[in-house]
Structure 1
């Protein structure tokens, strides 16, 4: 199930391994030495290993396709770490009539190309255990550059920001302002999915306050979009 702007839509997710960022709420638990796996049938929870998935990927997508499919999503980890093979897959799938969706942390704007849909995950200072202000600002500027580049190419790009208990509403408001300066872009506020006792969700009142502040710049282009697949117990 999709999240963000297209929450609840049906996707085929292709998850790439690895990410240079170490967000404290990250749920990626794939080890580099694990074999690639594909769910045999959607929702079954039964997986088949593919030792040569690069060769078989397009055939796998064709097998999993259903009439209600919205798009094929490249997610991770960080897909743009593998941008060359990602571009090959994207071109082949689009030639077959699929819509392509990128989910990225946005720190590689120079590796971007056209996607039908794109989600850029804006990081907040509290998403990291130890990161100085200079390094954080560098990441943030790259994220904005990625949004601007995708927007200028005609991709349907939106921003997503994960909010936790200790988020600063004014910092999220400043994100909304910067996004509004780029163009007509939706901001998806995603309450964190707790993965341990140290990661706590944002209180309801605070969540609504954050959305109100963002609305000063984005009007109704602000959404609250939880990770619906987590609630449904799906991939």
Structure 2
């Protein structure tokens, strides 16, 4: 299937770096950051990418695939903003998978996971390709002020290669994290991570909470890039 060169994606950043979190933390990836988000989290560290007046380069799928292939890097991380808001994202994903890339979508938990996955599956019949598409989905806890926007149906759409990430800023957030993990049996479905809101809670407190509640199958993870570079530095 030919790429639709009429569709253009608003890209605010493209760069190569290491993944700072998730199952591929420490691995090189090509990052594609799209403009725009439907949420406004209290701790968002990329609000600049969501503003209406933020400059964006309009790129076709063909241009983005060519950009990625020139890097020689196998992992692609789509982030934002909210990538799943992009029109015809499935076509871009399909072409990246066809080029042999592994595609990770960082999504905020308010948009259907299944819609885009079903669209990509329709475009490609290669089962092995679909296994190289993964979703890293946030569950926005109360501290984010966005919890009411979470799409709970997503928990039934998770696949083994996917990740649910809880960004906790308080003990109350950790309590809700534990409740959600248990209620939806997340550790039996996919990877599960807890990360601290940077500067709001001590990582050691999260570890102590996990120990106290025997949270097996859950990983605590720091955002690696915020320790290597300045927390607000772009392009890393």
TM class by shorter-chain length? 0.7 to 0.9
RMSD over aligned CA atoms reads 2.4
| Partners of 2:212 and 2:189 in 1: CA distance | 17
Contact (CA 8 Å) 1:83, 1:111: kept in 2 or not?
Answer: no
Kindly provide the CA deviation profile for residues 22-64 of structure 1, in whole angstroms up to 9, marking residues without a partner as x. Answer: 110101112444433xxxxxxxxxxxxxx44225211111112
Unaligned segments of structure 2, at least 5 residues: 1-17, 118-129, 230-234
Q: TM-score, normalised by structure 2?
A: 0.73
Q: Which one of 112, 132, 142 corresponds to residue 125 of structure 1?
A: 142
Moved over 6 A (4+): none
Aligned to 2:107: 104
Is the partner of 2:157 in helix, strand or coil?
A: helix
| Partners of 1:211 and 1:106 in 2: CA distance | 23
Offset of residue 149 of structure 1: 1.1
Aligned to 1:74: 78
Unaligned segments of structure 1, at least 5 residues: 37-50, 194-199
Is the partner of 2:165 in helix, strand or coil?
A: strand
Aligned to 1:35: 55
Kindly provide the CA deviation profile for residues 104-146 of structure 1, in whole angstroms up to 9, marking residues without a partner as x. Answer: 1122225331562211101111211xx6xxxx45x34x1x422
Question: Is residue 165 of structure 2 the alignment partner of residue 157 of structure 1?
Answer: no
Aligned to 2:36: 18
Aligned to 2:192: 187
Shift in CA distance, 10/108, structure 1 to aligned 2, threshold 3 Å = same
Question: Is residue 59 of structure 2 the alignment partner of residue 53 of structure 1?
Answer: yes
Question: Is residue 224 of structure 2 the alignment partner of residue 224 of structure 1?
Answer: no
Is the partner of 1:4 in helix, strand or coil?
A: coil
Contact (CA 8 Å) 1:5, 1:223: kept in 2 or not?
Answer: no
Q: Which one of 70, 73, 77 corresponds to residue 63 of structure 1?
A: 70
Is the partner of 2:29 in helix, strand or coil?
A: strand
Shift in CA distance, 213/116, structure 1 to aligned 2, threshold 3 Å = farther
Contact (CA 8 Å) 1:192, 1:202: kept in 2 or not?
Answer: yes
| Partners of 2:86 and 2:185 in 1: CA distance | 30
| Partners of 1:204 and 1:106 in 2: CA distance | 23
Shift in CA distance, 228/204, structure 1 to aligned 2, threshold 3 Å = closer
Offset of residue 211 of structure 1: 2.3
